[in-house]
Chain A
Amino acid sequence: MASIMNPTSMPEASVPDRTEEGKLPESEVEPMADSQPKMKVSELDFYYGARQALFGISLAIPEKKITALIGPSGCGKSTFLRTLNRMYETVRHARADGDIQLDGQSVLGMDVARLRRRVGMVFQKSNPFPKTIYENVAYGLRVNGWKGRLNDVVELSLKRAALWEEVKDSLHKSAYALSGGQQQRLCIARALAVDPEVLLLDEPCSALDPIATAKIEELLFALKDLCTIVIVTHNMQQAARVADYTGFFLLGKLIEFNETPIIFKRPAKKETEDYITGRFG
């Protein structure tokens, strides 16, 4: 297991000099070394009714990398994640102001169903439908009008979620017959089936035991090649193990965003350092 101070599986990225200084203005967008950002958020404010939950968030999510969002409870990281696929729209009086872009297109102006096919989500507690395993994975395909062969896609998705071997003979069984960890991988397979460009994971391992957690973390490394991953996690060590980039949220603001080794070894802000070293949280 990698420790906070020495994450072993981080890629060797060529980081421009600017970020080494550690003196960044608050919430500035990080210039990416290589690819264009997959999603770009500018000056995002978010309100639940009259209460403001997010303050001027600006962030660029790099393509085909794993970005982790960390911070203490109630800091807004889940709220932020849910703006990326507009899941907040199910809540009355929730409002987002600002710009969110996917491949340069405004997310807030897009057809929401199409957005959610391109930006998938896996939730904190696994939520398989009361249907068979097969039907769970096939659901996204059906509602989006998939015309091809379902069987192939279902098999592929389950393989990508590292679940195929365990369920290939019981696809017709109820999804509720699976264990907690398997159910979460089923939810990942279900999300992958519609071939999303971005996959959002909201504390996906918080209800799972360490072994199940490890399986899912392994999975994420493999998935990185397929799609951009954004993961909210309560567990700093998980971010350190898994993520290429990490953003630290506190009280609705994005305090710092940078490559993971930098956040954990040489954070620019005092709040970040205090959180990392456990002075609060």
Chain B
Amino acid sequence: MRHSRIWRKTVNNVMLGLTGVCAVATVSVLFFILGYLVYNGGRYLSWAFLTRLPVPVGETGGGMANAIVGSGKILLIAAALGLPVGFLGGVYLAEFGGRTFPFLVRYTADLLNGVPSIVMGIFAYAVVVKPMRSFSALAGGFALGVMLVPIVLRSTEEFLRAVPTSLREGALALGAKKWRSIATVVIPAAYKGIATGILLSLARVAGETAPLIFTSFGNPYWSRGFNEPTSSLPVMIYTYALSAYDDWHRQAWAAGLVLLAFVLVANVGAKLILSRGMSSARG
């Protein structure tokens, strides 16, 4: 009989196995990626690689120093543009907002979050590159900065809301004005969560390539200031991987390892801080 006890038990065990395989398969993808890059890229990693400029095709021994510094510059601009907006916006939503305007802000932030990164690149192109008539770290930073905002906004608001009302009341009852109670009690109480939210958001945009392709573009040399085309780690990986040269392939793997390591360390670190932070706050 089809629905006999034995049949049902068999189905149960088979499905347990199948779904377990799905889970393990998914997990193993990450390990495979990591392993591949460590194996192929790790060998090429050296202090020279990290500190030298790229050399023309055909010559060996190039480096990605300008890509690392370039990514740093672009991230700096992105942070300067996106973090204040996301953070203060989050403070507004959690502490001051009314009914309709906060809803509007949250809705548009969600919308921004869902915009494909290449479209964000188009936006930055229209707003920064065209008027400036040049590719620049500024344009790349603008694109990434706008991408930062929804992430930082959501996490700031969430962690501020998690601060218990009793703490706010305690501060107000001592004669603190509202803004002061927010600045000296509420935000410090939530700072761990907010900081990890910021860290995660930076790690996320640091790996973005599409918005940079036609904003900061790329540069085989050092870029001066923020107004010139700037090399960046993800774009470098993209260009070198697609090239026809073995040596560039190896460099792409090594650079990929550096980028992946940065992203993974940031994510793991953030999760660890959060899990420890929560338990200590409960006193």
Contacts and interface: CB of A to CB of B under 8 A. Distances in A.
A contacting B, Cβ–Cβ less than 8 Å: yes
Interface of A: 85, 87, 90, 113-117, 120-121, 123, 125, 127-131, 139-140, 142-144, 174, 176, 187, 190-191, 194
Nearest to A177: B283
B217 to A, nearest CB: 46
Instruction: Pick from B172, B174, B184 the residue with the most CB of A within 10 Å.
Output: B174
Given A130-B189, A176-B283, A123 B169 contact: yes
Given A123-B169, A139-B171, 12 more contacts: A87-B169, A90-B165, A121-B169, A123-B173, A127-B164, A129-B171, A129-B189, A130-B188, A143-B171, A143-B176, A143-B177, A194-B175
Contacts of A131: 188
A194 to B, nearest CB: 6
B174 A87 contact: no
A191 B174 contact: yes
Contacts of A121: 169, 173
A187 B173 CA distance: 11
B180 A143 contact: yes
A22 B136 CA distance: 86
Nearest to B173: A121
A117 B175 contact: yes
B45 interface: no
Nearest to A140: B174
Interface in B154-206: 164-177, 180-181, 184-185, 188-189
B111 interface: no
B281 interface: yes
Nearest to B283: A176
Nearest to B99: A92
Contacts of B280: 176
Nearest to B188: A130
Which bracket fits the contact residues of B? 20 to 34
Contacts of B177: 113, 143
A116 B170 CA distance: 11
Contacts of A129: 167, 170-171, 185, 189
Contacts of A127: 164, 166-167, 169-170
A139 B169 contact: no
Nearest to A92: B98
Given A140-B175, A143-B174, A143-B184, A90 B169 contact: yes
Contact of B174 (A90, A117, A176): A117
A129 B281 CA distance: 10
Contacts of B180: 143
15 contacts: A90-B172, A113-B175, A113-B176, A115-B175, A127-B164, A127-B166, A127-B167, A127-B169, A139-B176, A140-B176, A143-B171, A143-B177, A144-B175, A176-B280, A190-B170
Contacts of A85: 173
A91 to B, nearest CB: 10
Contacts of B169: 87, 90, 121, 123, 127
B170 A90 contact: no
A130 B170 contact: no
Contacts of A87: 169, 172-173
Given A123-B166, A123-B169, A114 B175 contact: yes
Nearest to A85: B173
A123 B171 CA distance: 11
